[in-house]
Amino acid sequence: MSYIIEQVVNGIKKYIPESEIALNEPMKKHTTFRVGGDAEIFVSPSATEVKDLIDLCNDLEVPYHVVGNGSNLLVSDQGLKGVVISVRRNAEYIDIKGDTIITGAGSSLAKVANFAAKEGLGGLEFAAGIPGTIGGAIVMNAGAFGGEIKDVLVSVKVCTKDGQVLEIKAQDLDLSYRHSCILEKEYIVLEATFKLKEANKDEIYATMDDYKKRRISSQPLNFPSAGSTFKRPKDNFAGKLIEDAGLKGYKIGGAQVSEKHCGFVVNSNAATATDVYELIKYVISIVKTKYDVTLEPEVKMMGEF
């Protein structure tokens, strides 16, 4: 272990239990694609410990990366240098005050939606079955079936790259289709506040069950993937363009354009991150050549490709 890594680990131990620190942690264990190299230092802090980690990384000039459930993430086969901050299981909590839910960034979006349904609060039905965390869902303004995070989000608590903790109103996050300003400003989501509405529990559950069934019938949930791989192009659908281009089932290595839904790239047979990345690039190039439409990946790349 090099001096700098030892120095970083010893610094982290001052704030976080040693059991929450891992060296050379395979990122394939922390992404839904089930690919990716090792994280040099992998840490699972609580929401309140993130600031200390950022301060430490800044003081020691160590690069850091932030991940949640890894459900919209492609990590390089070369892995990630520095510290990977996993805002997930130790940053998971849900509180309710009337029709308002306050939840940690590490909470499962689907779990929060189910909690709301149990309390007779509507507005998060669209999130049933979405595999990401609250933090990731806000970063990407996750949505489905006509609903989006921005429809119910009131505010977020974030840590800045300088280690400041701020409360930011939803209207100041530049929330739009699969976009927020969070990545651009290098914020780390710590907590979110949602404003929901009282509704009939049976109707909420019926809607959620319908959405879940529609996901199961239309999506390749039997293969590791990061969900929908491409953003929806204006006045069109990525899956239709890809299928019309003759790419249904097309493979590079162990990565494949799903035969069930062409908008998904899946890990069909021990794919590497490079396989997935090269297939994404190939799909984009073919669709551009045939239809003059530039598909934009919805999946975020992390590391060197």
**What pLDDT digit, counting tens, does each position of 150-194 carry?**
999 999 999 999 999 999 999 999 999 999 999 999 999 999 999
Determine which one of 34, 89, 119, 178 is catalytic: 178
- Catalytic position from the list 20, 40, 92, 298: 298
6: three-class secondary structure by DSSP = helix
CATH (residue range 3-89): 3.30.43.10
Q: Which helix (DSSP H) or strand (DSSP E) does residue 216 occupy?
A: helix 201-218
Averaged over 42-63, what is the pLDDT? 95
214 has catalytic annotation: no
Q: What is the pLDDT of residues 119-143, one digit of tens each?
A: 999 999 999 888 899 999 999 999 9
* Residue 254 phi, psi (nearest 5): -95, 5
Per-residue confidence band for 26, with pLDDT thresholds at 50, 70 and 90: very high
Task: Tell me, yes or no, if 298 is annotated catalytic.
Answer: yes
88 is catalytic: no
Over residues 10-18, the mean pLDDT reads: 94
Nearest C-alpha neighbor of 45 from the set 69, 21, 11: 21
Q: Report domain extents, the chain.
A: 3-89, 92-217, 220-302
220-302 — its CATH code?
3.90.78.10
Q: Rounded to an integer, what distance in angstroms lies between the CA atom of residue 67 and that of residue 260?
A: 28
What mean pLDDT comes out for the span 257-273?
Answer: 97
Domain boundaries 92-217, corresponding CATH code = 3.30.465.10
Whole-prediction pTM value?
Answer: 0.92
